[in-house]
Structure 1
């Protein structure tokens, strides 16, 4: 497969060794319980720990944890992190945004680099 064209509307979709499409996804997810007080960091840390244990590339910032991988793997990590809080009996809110871009990988860092390059040229 050729390198993906950032400006193309459609990309060739890579497949794994079983012929299953590899649907690369970058997710921004925030998972937190309701009704536990003003400080959520301890609970958020429990969810982030599950995401980090998934082995998928991830990074946590002030508002979200970004995760990258095949769509099924990303959704499983989000589900498992959500269940970590929900199984303790907490009402749990999940904010999730997905950027699904077949043919691309490494976007968790490449997107930021691309924006920095554009800004540097200005």
Structure 2
């Protein structure tokens, strides 16, 4: 499965501060997980089995919770049993489709 998630703190003593430290704590957990992943400006996508992916998301959410009194979590998952390598595979198929459009 692929799971894209975004997690951010809110509330707390310094609720107007940037969330970059909290996001850095979450991304550090993802990186240390050993699972294939990609982080962009809006989401971090993690690939693996259901239980391992959601364990990483939970740990990242818990880490962000240290930075505020509330946590906002958004998750979007693509559950496709039997497939691996989709973190890159989906992008490769997209690029081929775009290239094919340019050839016509």
Q: Per the shorter chain, which TM-score range?
A: 0.7 to 0.9
The total of aligned residue pairs comes to 98
TM (normalized to structure 1)? 0.75
Higher helix share: 2
- 2:97 maps to 1:118: yes
Give the structure 1 partner of residue 81 of structure 2. 102
Q: Decide which moves more: 36-45 or 71-80.
A: 36-45
Give the structure 2 partner of residue 29 of structure 1. 5
Measured on the aligned residues, the alpha-carbon RMSD in Å equals 1.3
TM (normalized to structure 2)? 0.88
Gapped regions of structure 1 (runs ≥ 5): 1-24
Q: How does 1:1-122 map to 2 (within 5 A)?
A: 25-35=1-11, 36-37=15-16, 39-87=18-66, 90-122=69-101
Higher relative contact order (CA 8 A, sep 6+): 2
Gapped regions of structure 2 (runs ≥ 5): none
Whether the aligned pair in 1 keeps the contact of 2:9 and 2:67 (CA below 8 Å) is no
1:88 deviation in Å?
Answer: 5.2
Summarize deviations over 1:32-75 as a string: whole Å, max 9, x none: 10132252111111111011111100010010000000010000
